[in-house]
Structure 1
């Protein structure tokens, strides 16, 4: 196999790569949840109720 020298590096570091991707997607998800809560939350809720409904 021509790329066999990459297999050891992949075996050593694929966990780090997948955790970094997971962390990035979680950050995007939290940001979009906050944006959604700010834009589409019920206007009769006070600011403290809207902020506590967002789960991190």
Structure 2
């Protein structure tokens, strides 16, 4: 369930980065958001019972 939730959170981050109205500032936020998701996804995969 945790992995599914994190993957669901990834969609708006990717949309913010690749979207039609993406700008430098939104790209910075999106990249930070994607990195945060990536770091936590690795933890969730390594600790499925947590």
- Report the TM-score when normalising by structure 2: 0.50
Greater RCO (CA < 8 Å, at least 6 residues apart): 2
Larger Rg belongs to: 1
The structure whose residues are more often helix, as a share, is 2
Q: TM-score, normalised by structure 1?
A: 0.45
